[in-house]
Structure 1
Amino acid sequence: MPEELEESLQGLINRAVVYSDPGVSLETAVVDLPVPQPADGEVLVRLYYSGVCHTDVSFCLNALPGLRVPTPKGVGIVVAHGPGVTLPPIGSRVGIKYAADACLACDNCIEGAEASCLNIKVSGYFTPGTFQQYCIATARYVTPIPENLDLAAAAPLMCGGVTVYTALRKAGLRPGDWVAVFGAGGGLGHLGIQYAKAMGGRVIALDVGSKKDFCLSQAADEFIDITQFGVDEDLAAKVKSLSNGGLPKLGTESTSKNVLMLRQEASSNAIIRYGK
């Protein structure tokens, strides 16, 4: 780390949110920690935005062994390098994901499934999470954030965005394909709409009626109010009719029988389940 930068970090307080009663409740506390020092292959990130997801709830309520600083996603600025690190440059905007690091050599990594890496390090579990002002991250594994993307908007992409993008890639989405997104008005679903459209897909959004305007504002081509269909076969038929008789590639965060019905009728189309 450059000497002048090291001096500028001395005496700083690293304010963090920690689990205060793991295994019993979701109670948290704000504490002051030392600013961590990056080791070989690491960078120090000054975080500005973070988030929380169901993974954090599981870690806390199950009192899983590990570190007390929660959550596996955040964005900020690189402020220091560990020994031997030159990239990303100091001042770079970067994101930290659920996977803090992966081996990039096992079969899962080679197939693009780093979240299933046999040697994965999970942020907020194997490493301190992003509910702190300063966080250590693996230099080769942080995600560059473009200058034209607002940091606040980028934070959810480090978890929900990666999840739905991976699902659409696994589905083999091609321009012109139809995509049916269950739970389309939710945290993952609305990102699924946007990614699918950006990849050239046509989107059928499925959710309760109150989510219609929101889903259409995200550029969904069609909307189905699932509360209007009491029979799974009827909903499957509606989806097929909107996609010109074919079964669309499907991303879903639902375990509904509707999904199973569509799966039974699928041939070469992909049924991809994402989320919890």
Structure 2
Amino acid sequence: MSTTKIMNMAETTPIIPKTCKAGVVCNPGPDFTIEVQDLPVPEIGPEDVLIKLNVTGLCMSDVHFMMEDWGLPPMQGLPICTDRCAGHEGAGVIVKVGERVKNLKIGQRAGLKPIQDVCHTCEYCKTGKETYCLSCVMTGLHIDGSYKQYIVSPERYTSLIPDGVTDEIAGPIMCSGSTAYTSIKESGLRPGQWAVFPGGGGGVGMQAVQLAIAMGLRAIVIDTGAERKEACLKFGADEFIDFKEVESPVERVLELTNGGAHAVFVTAVQSYPIAQGFLGHRAGAQVMCIGLPPAGKYNMEVNPSTLAFRNQSIKGTLVAGMADVDETMDFARRGKLRLEPTVVGLSKFNESVQKLKNGQVAGRIVVDFNKD
């Protein structure tokens, strides 16, 4: 059942408690855990809104940050993230607005993205690449993220959730869904071309496959397991290659695509060392880097001669800006992105994050703050 709540402010005024539930990162590092605690509800500034989250998605990026394997400063070294709450896939409703907020209103549905705010004045912000702003505020790193039920969002960078998209779908779209969309969009692939998705049965990959198909591409998924195969084929993938059953996934892709994919979208970081092989001799083909591996692991050995002779390229994209989040939401509103996440309550918070860490999740897990 959907946890979507639409508030009619003519009938009710939100009651904001002094404390709220939150999944707090304990013992950051390889053996981290998530402990559900009661934390103070944050205060907002005059140009901010307070969002009561109904759900948060669980993203592998948070796992890397909590494991501290990206080579970033440790969580204790980021004093702004005071309560050590990760997460950046939140969906809920605005329950309070600052005195200088002009457009957003109490009762509107809104979410929390991987980037909480940007400077809005630099070269990148002015040219539609605001997610690369050097002054960006990263959710769950610089500030507490969506593992906390009440969060602060600046009006100028708050994404709204349209009618027809449940919170369980909107949460993951804030990061994984829209991140996949941005990468596909930037690849410039045209309808009918081949797109390969190593890790296409995971949380990002499964949404990427659906979006690629909705955009007219032919999708090949490389992953393992009957559950992931069933889901990917149900969502329209042309082919599912189980890397535990097929001796050479690269050769199989070259056979299916008559020489090589037009692009490979890497969400499973273990695939980076072989990613260029999926392109074969396809001129103009691309490796699109989405997944972020641990520091020093799964690097690519690039053959520059192949890039030159076949006009191939390697490109990275980070997360989606506001426009791409809105466009991805519209795919879901039209029924083109049909994520079917596993929804759990707060009592399963740590267990679910550990399953994600250990690669035991097909698709996406969403934590419902309104369930025990």
TM-score normalized by the length of structure 1:
0.85
Contact 1:16–1:33 (8 Å) recurs in 2 = yes
Q: Distance in 2 between matches of 1:112 and 1:46?
A: 29
Match for residue 191 of structure 1 among 207, 213, 217? 207
Contact 1:99–1:114 (8 Å) recurs in 2 = no
| CA shift in 2, pair 1:28/1:259, >3 Å | closer
What 5-or-longer segments of structure 1 have no aligned partner?
1-6
Superimposed CA distance per residue, residues 128-158 of structure 1 (whole angstroms, 9 cap, x where no aligned partner): 1112221101212122111101111211111
Matched, 1:57 2:63: yes
Compute the displacement of 1:13 (Å). 2.7
Matched, 1:171 2:177: no
Coordinate RMSD, CA, aligned: 2.6
SS in 2 for 1:159: helix
Counterpart in the other structure of 1:151:
167
Contact 1:73–1:123 (8 Å) recurs in 2 = no
Counterpart in the other structure of 2:33:
27
Match for residue 213 of structure 1 among 217, 223, 230? 230
What 5-or-longer segments of structure 2 have no aligned partner?
1-12, 69-73, 293-372
Superimposed CA distance per residue, residues 79-105 of structure 1 (whole angstroms, 9 cap, x where no aligned partner): 111121122222111111111112244
Q: Distance in 2 between matches of 1:144 and 1:56?
A: 23
Aligned residues: 268
Q: Distance in 2 between matches of 1:27 and 1:119?
A: 30
Q: Distance in 2 between matches of 1:33 and 1:225?
A: 44
Q: Distance in 1 between matches of 2:44 and 2:229?
A: 47
Counterpart in the other structure of 1:36:
42
Compute the displacement of 1:227 (Å). 3.2
| CA shift in 2, pair 1:225/1:11, >3 Å | closer
Counterpart in the other structure of 2:6:
none
Contact 1:25–1:60 (8 Å) recurs in 2 = no
| CA shift in 2, pair 1:216/1:28, >3 Å | closer
Compute the displacement of 1:9 (Å). 4.2
Structure 1 consecutive aligned stretches of length 4 or more whose deviation exceeds 6 Å: none
Residues 48-197 of structure 1: pairs in structure 2 closer than 5 A: 48-62=54-68, 63-64=74-75, 65-66=77-78, 67=81, 68-110=84-126, 112-197=128-213
Q: Distance in 1 between matches of 2:205 and 2:14?
A: 42
Percent of aligned positions with the same letter in both sequences? 33
Q: Distance in 2 between matches of 1:109 and 1:267?
A: 33
Letter matched to residue 187 of structure 2: A
Q: Distance in 2 between matches of 1:58 and 1:37?
A: 29
Q: Which 10-residue stretch deviates more, 254-263 or 169-178?
A: 254-263
Q: Which 10-residue stretch deviates more, 217-226 or 20-29?
A: 20-29
Compute the displacement of 1:110 (Å). 4.7
Counterpart in the other structure of 1:223:
240
SS in 1 for 2:244: helix
Contact 2:259–2:282 (8 Å) recurs in 1 = no
Q: Distance in 1 between matches of 2:193 and 2:280?
A: 19
| CA shift in 2, pair 1:41/1:173, >3 Å | farther
| CA shift in 2, pair 1:88/1:176, >3 Å | farther
Larger RCO: 1 or 2 (CA < 8 Å, sep 6+): 2
